[in-house]
Chains A and B, each alone.
Chain A
Amino acid sequence: MVVLDLGDIPPESARRVPLTSWFRFRRAVEPTATVLLVLEQEPCAKTCASLVVRLQRIAMCASNAALLLKETEIHGWKVLSHAEPAIPSANEISHAALLQGMQLHAEVLRSWTQRKPVHSVGANFELRAAW
């Protein structure tokens, strides 16, 4: 797998990569068993991409989120308490809060192998912190 990380690059700059370059990449990868994965803020490989997946963060998991729970809900942002917190939720010491992970939603925008589905195809999955 070859990963090209353009996540830090603004979409205006990433769009400047000409379409021919993306086709060249595709041609180089096509006859091999290699996967070329491009991470970017917006899809810019256009029709060259065999599969376009949009990832969206939907929730954050923390060990103790009682303090700011209300405020974050206003912003459409959920802070979920961990199922079994190591520290009780009543503990309001600042470092009691601990980032545990994130929940993401992946949605297939386009796929060459499948016909365009009638409705959106997506799935949720969770990323966990290493600690």
Chain B
Amino acid sequence: MFACIYIPDFPVAAIIRVEPLLRDRAVAVLDGKPPQVRVAALNDKARQLGMNIGMTKIQAAIFAIPQHEGDTSATAKSDRKKKSPPIELDSQRIKAQSKPAAAILRQRSTAQEESSHAALLDVVHAFTPRVEDTHPDRLLLDLDGLERLYGPPSAIARELASRVSTLGLDANIGVAANSDAAMHAACGFGGVTVIPAGEEARRLGVLPINVLLDSFEITGSNSSENSTAAREREKLSEQMFDTLERWGVRDFRTLALLPEHALAARLGEAGAHLQRLARGATMRTLALCEPSVRFEEAMDLESPVETLEPLSFLLNRTLDQLCTRLEARALAVQELTLRLQLEPRVGDEQAITLEELAGASHTALLPSSGPSGTIATEAQRSQRNFLKDTPCSKPARSELEGCLHGKSLSFEYSNGNLYARTLRLPVAMRDSKVFLKLLQLDLSAHPPGAPVCKLWITAEPAIPRSAQRGLFLPVTPEAEKLEITLARITGVVGERRAGIAKPLDTHRPAAFRMERFVSQTESQTTEASPTLSGWATKAPIALRIFRPARQVRVQVSEGRPCNLVPPARNEEKDALQGKILWSAGPWRSSGDWWAQQSSAQHSTEDAQVWDREEWDIALASGKNGDVVLYRIYRDIATGDWFADASYD
């Protein structure tokens, strides 16, 4: 048995999936470049209003909502207000006004259609791996062997329908003994249709002939065919429709009853094939498709969003859809990338010279070794995404790619700019609320800086983590809650200031790098810490480091510090001063002088030249006569003294 999933009015369904509030409204989708903008798709409610496919934008705008009702169909409305001359379409206007709800116009979004199609494929692939990606609005499935899992074909069809409905799409499901009959049933009948084997001709007989020609046009065309061949096929289909119309053949049954040889003599092989399709007697092999490993959801915004709050609503919807897709494939997210297309500023078109990009790519394409590895990987990824998703023409793209690989060309890119943020999660998770909160915190810390026109969210899939922990281990907070808390702390204290301080592999004092906090795994917690093994009886002394180091004035006698004198100006009241009772030192250290020449190629974190002379001193404080231990040092290069830390 085969099943077909068909989404009627797919461009409209893709928009309604993103904006569920439009489900009960009449929606028309506009496509084309001005001035040839026409209605490309509409739903049943829009048809009831009297709208048709092929209407011009101005004609469609008659049916749209008036401006004062505050809906977001701004494009059509503003154009109607500004550009369109008063057109005498009184009868249509009266008709539209008499209806209870008016139509909503939306621009066609290929990104949303692609997302919906990918979501559909994800759901279906979770059902069976034997799937043919026939067309964006229809998929064919081979149901052989699924009876043991899901029961009879009708139960399978219902299960399919319920799974597709979780995506926010309304699908027609057709089940039949051959794939073409299943497709005709799905396209011709609403809801779930199951045609038992041998009854195809009888059940499909009532369908209009244009259903047959639509599917004939789709199934006959291959993806490898060029546009000329596709146009020829479309032309052939139109010719056949005209011929059959003239013969009075308007449904499947009439076509199926025509004499086969006579039909082949008049319409050729294509006519005979059409008749076999109408009888439900064809049999073909499905061209199976691979499940996608790319999880991306996109949303085109009618009007740019300026503040974070409305953007959060949009992010919420998109993340919900993404998580539904991942759930269907039993996957979780390890890395989440948000990309925003920002509105170009008026009169200040952003120009990206290729020299800048080539320079950026040079840094980005450094070998990913050492501490700069993460940065290089991130830059490479963003560069790939930039290239992949930059909305520019093919020659321009090739120029851009050329420039990123070191060629020096001049190229101006003024289609708006992209803003990307990446969330790397310590553990794989799949909770859209957590993602939303993390993105909100991240965006509030790093606002895009311009209104957002379009957004993409890409998820790097990973295997979900197992929640089983040791019975006797202490309870740790949930990874999701911990991540949100860490993001909040980072928002308060700043980027790279929260996490785990990891010492660098250097002798430079107090050299460390902040790494993201990851809760210890089971194996790590059970192991004894090697650093504390020698300190079982005695606790280590602690240093309270001053950041930054406090400058002090030191009197030196016989080569050793003997007094900390107060500053010349009375600027610092709590400046360190007093007599040095005891001192130990000097301990001289220097390093990274070898990296001085090539310091431009290293990050400042990795190479900081130091040359210092350290002393441990016991200082008699002025107030109570307390004695405090300090570590002070003299910078050899400048000769200045600094208090580095106190012994706690």
A residues within 8 Å of B by Cβ? 7-8, 33, 57, 60, 62, 65, 68, 71-72, 75-77, 79, 94-95, 97-99, 101-102, 125-130
Contacts and interface: CB of A to CB of B under 8 A. Distances in A.
Given A77-B627, A94-B586, A101 B581 contact: no
Nearest to A78: B627
Given A60-B629, A75-B620, A99-B647, A128 B585 contact: no
Interface in B526-573: 535, 538-542, 544, 559-560
A99 B585 CA distance: 10
Q: Which 9 A-B pairs have the closest CB atoms?
A: A97-B584, A127-B541, A128-B538, A99-B616, A77-B627, A68-B582, A129-B541, A94-B560, A127-B539
A127 B542 contact: yes
A1 B629 CA distance: 27
B625 interface: yes
B587 interface: yes
Contacts of B544: 7-8
A48 to B, nearest CB: 23
Given A7-B648, A99-B616, A99-B629, A71 B541 contact: no
B541 A98 contact: no
B618 interface: yes
A28 to B, nearest CB: 13
A72 B474 contact: no
B560 A127 contact: no
- Central interface residue in A8, A126, A130, by most chain B CB within 10 Å: A130
B583 interface: yes
Interface residues of B, number: 26
A107 B129 CA distance: 71
A99 to B, nearest CB: 5
B648 A101 contact: no
Nearest to A99: B616
B427 to A, nearest CB: 22
Given A7-B648, A33-B474, A77-B627, A97 B583 contact: yes
A102 B541 contact: yes
Contact of A98 (B535, B538, B584, B648): B584
Contacts of A98: 584
A68 B475 CA distance: 52
Contacts of B620: 75
Contacts of B475: 33
Given A94-B559, A99-B647, A128-B535, 19 more contacts: A7-B648, A33-B474, A60-B582, A60-B629, A62-B584, A72-B618, A77-B581, A77-B618, A94-B584, A95-B584, A97-B584, A99-B616, A101-B538, A125-B539, A126-B538, A127-B538, A127-B541, A128-B538, A130-B541
Contacts of B542: 127
10 contacts: A7-B648, A8-B544, A33-B475, A60-B629, A62-B584, A94-B583, A99-B616, A127-B539, A128-B535, A128-B539
A126 B539 CA distance: 7
Interface string B26-61: 000000000000000000000000000000000000
A97 B582 contact: yes
Given A126-B538, A128-B540, A102 B629 contact: yes
B581 A95 contact: no
A102 B647 contact: yes
B536 to A, nearest CB: 12
Could you tell me the dominant secondary structure of chain B's interface residues?
Answer: strand
A101 B616 CA distance: 12
Contacts of A94: 559-560, 583-586
Interface string B611-648: 00000101010000101010000000000000000011
Contacts of A8: 544
A129 B585 CA distance: 15
B562 to A, nearest CB: 11
Contacts of A57: 627
Contacts of B616: 99
Contacts of B474: 33
A101 B585 contact: no
A31 to B, nearest CB: 12
Contacts of A71: 581
B541 A62 contact: no
A65 B581 contact: no
A83 B648 CA distance: 23
Given A60-B618, A94-B560, A72 B581 contact: yes
Given A8-B544, A127-B541, A75 B625 contact: yes
Contacts of A101: 538, 541
Contacts of B625: 75-76
B255 to A, nearest CB: 75
A7 B541 CA distance: 15
A22 to B, nearest CB: 20
A62 B587 CA distance: 15
Contacts of B559: 94
Contacts of A127: 538-542
A77 B243 CA distance: 113
Interface string B576-590: 000001111111000
A18 B560 CA distance: 46
A75 B629 contact: no
Contact of B585 (A65, A95, A126): A95
Contacts of A68: 581-582
Given A72-B618, A127-B541, A95 B586 contact: yes
A53 to B, nearest CB: 14
A128 B538 CA distance: 6
Contacts of A95: 584-587
Nearest to A64: B584
Contacts of A97: 582-585
A76 B198 CA distance: 108
B533 to A, nearest CB: 13
A75 B581 contact: yes
A65 B581 CA distance: 11
Contacts of A130: 540-541
B18 to A, nearest CB: 41
A65 B541 contact: no
Contacts of B586: 94-95
Contacts of A99: 584, 616, 629, 647
Contacts of A102: 541, 629, 647
